Structure 1
Amino acid sequence: MKPIIISIENKYADAVVDLVLSIQQKEFNVPITLEDQPDLLNIRNFYYASGGGFWGAFIDNELVGTIALVKFSPTEAAIRKMFVKKEFRGKEFSIAQKLLETLIDYCKENEIDDLYLGTITILEAALRFYERNDFVRIAKESLPTTFPVMSADNVFCHLKLKK
């Protein structure tokens, strides 16, 4: 039951939508809809066109986790759509860790030096996960002006990849 992580595109949009919306709406009661997230239906244009990416973790051909990267300047990018199905979270599978490492390796190979993310305070486990991975919380005012802020986000983090 080892996860396989691959780059995914539009042909996986339905599976991505099912995974993301069920976690956002059912598990965390975040008032967000598919209409609020048109990127999920056009992964190729939204993520890859700017130099970012979108990865999926699969176990037995089932999509159990996602992570995406939006490049918003030549050396800066934002993490988006980091979701892992509840029953596949934790150290037993390490899916979130493997997804994040895949994304960070991509950043290093593509000269992206600064990673940012926005999330919401209710996602405390996610925040602890990012902090264990050396992300530092920053004020919204400290974000680069070109960072694509999502309306629901109220906590922001930064990771400097180039020491």
Structure 2
Amino acid sequence: MHIVEYAGHDVDAIVELITTIQMVEFGVATSAEKQPDLREIPEYYQYGAGNFWLAFEGDELIGTLALKDVGGGVCSLRKMFVKKAWRGKARGVAAGLMRTLLDQAKAHGVRAIYLGTVDVYKAAHRFYEKSGFVEVAKSEVPDSVPLMDVDVKYYCRRF
């Protein structure tokens, strides 16, 4: 498995991976159209402390993770998705992606990372908590942090 920064990779494959996990696997009421950021990765994510990473096994896209810089030392963790067959501690895909994101955040002096998530991603909630994220009330999430209308749980990791 190797992790790379997005650099003109196949956007259709990224959209397919993410929306299949969201809508087919977990039944989340969303669509590719509700996520235009996936078709504008450099403009939306790759500035300041932000970036967008892809995990590959050979040529197969197996995971994604994004960090969006919203200013003032605050970022938003977004688009953390790993194909089902590649999940779990033994595979290390999610851990590798998270380590990459946290290293980037620290190197850029980020003070806090927020995220919103849906209630059905139970394993993801545990993973975020093991990665140092603490659940917070929606009212604690800065307005600058983009959230999806399906988000119902919110987390923050401070440095």
Q: How does 1:83-98 map to 2 (within 5 A)?
A: 83-98=81-96
Q: Secondary structure at the match of 2:146?
A: coil
Contact preservation (8 Å) 1:10, 1:41: no
Encode CA deviations 1:16-59: one digit per residue, 9 max, x unaligned: 11100110111001111111001111111111145410001100
* Aligned: 1:61 with 2:67: no
Contact preservation (8 Å) 1:6, 1:57: yes
Q: CA RMSD in A?
A: 1.1
Encode CA deviations 1:66-124: one digit per residue, 9 max, x unaligned: 00011111300000000000000012211001100100000011111101110011111
- In 1, the alpha carbon distance for the partners of 2:122 and 2:75 equals 22
Q: How does 1:30-109 map to 2 (within 5 A)?
A: 30-49=28-47, 51-109=49-107
- In 1, the alpha carbon distance for the partners of 2:27 and 2:9 equals 27
- In 2, the alpha carbon distance for the partners of 1:10 and 1:60 equals 17
In the comparison of the two structures, how many residue pairs are matched? 159
- Aligned-pair identity (%): 39
- In 2, the alpha carbon distance for the partners of 1:81 and 1:91 equals 19
- Structure 1 gaps of 5+ residues are none
Partner of 1:128: 126
Q: CA deviation at 1:147?
A: 1.6
Moved over 4 A (4+): none
- Structure 2 gaps of 5+ residues are none
TM-score (norm. length: structure 1):
0.93
